[in-house]
Amino acid sequence: MIQNLKTPLKREETQKLRIKDSVYISGTIYTARDSAHQRMIEKGSPIILDGAVIFHAGPIIRKQDDDYIMVAVGPTTSTRMNPYQAEILDQGALAVIGKGGMDKRTSEALTRNGAVFLAAVGGCAALYVSSVEKVKNVHWLDLGVPEAIWELEVKDFGPLIVAMDSTGANLYEEIRKKP
């Protein structure tokens, strides 16, 4: 099933998503990698996490006059965020975009919060950047361009596949169990 979602997400929407569903997102999403996740937990988040979509990505950015232009943005390996992701979900984020899946602690947080993990395809940075309409803001640029939190306005960002849902279902585990 194909779902078109608008941010901020609503728990009633994310709870209906099931593994193997295709998702496209419009609205605001935020890139965040390990350093940003760690700082959000230690110092508090500079973004509103209620209904937020967090994208595990380290974008390539070009500065043009006073604006930032996104050149490419693709998923990074999500397991690096395992130490932090459950707490970010507990603070209100309802979707995580990344690649490779996440651990049991994160899966439990997805279930507890009615949230989902959306798999993005590695190597599709040019496709995903075509859905970025604008770089709205940047937070914690002192962490470096890849590690900063980039606030993106997106339209039909995807395709993304629900790989872990709020029922505890996990597409990666299903695939590993197949003979």
Question: What is the CATH topology of the domain spanning 2-177?
Answer: fumarase (3.20.130)
37 as an active site residue: the answer is: yes
- The CA–CA distances, whole Å, from 166 to 24, 91, 114, 143 equal 18, 16, 5, 32
Answer whether 118's CB lies under 8 Å from 163's CB. Answer: yes
Whole-model pTM? 0.96
Query: Mind listing the pLDDT tens digit of every residue in the chain (179 residues)?
Result: 899 999 999 999 999 999 999 999 999 999 999 999 999 999 999 999 999 999 999 899 999 998 999 999 999 999 999 999 999 999 999 999 999 999 999 999 999 999 999 999 887 888 899 999 999 999 999 999 999 999 999 999 999 999 999 999 999 998 888 77
Q: Is 128 helix (H, G, I), strand (E, B) or coil?
A: helix
Q: Considering 37, 39, 56, 139, which one is annotated as catalytic? A: 37
Ordered by start, the domain boundaries in the chain are 2-177
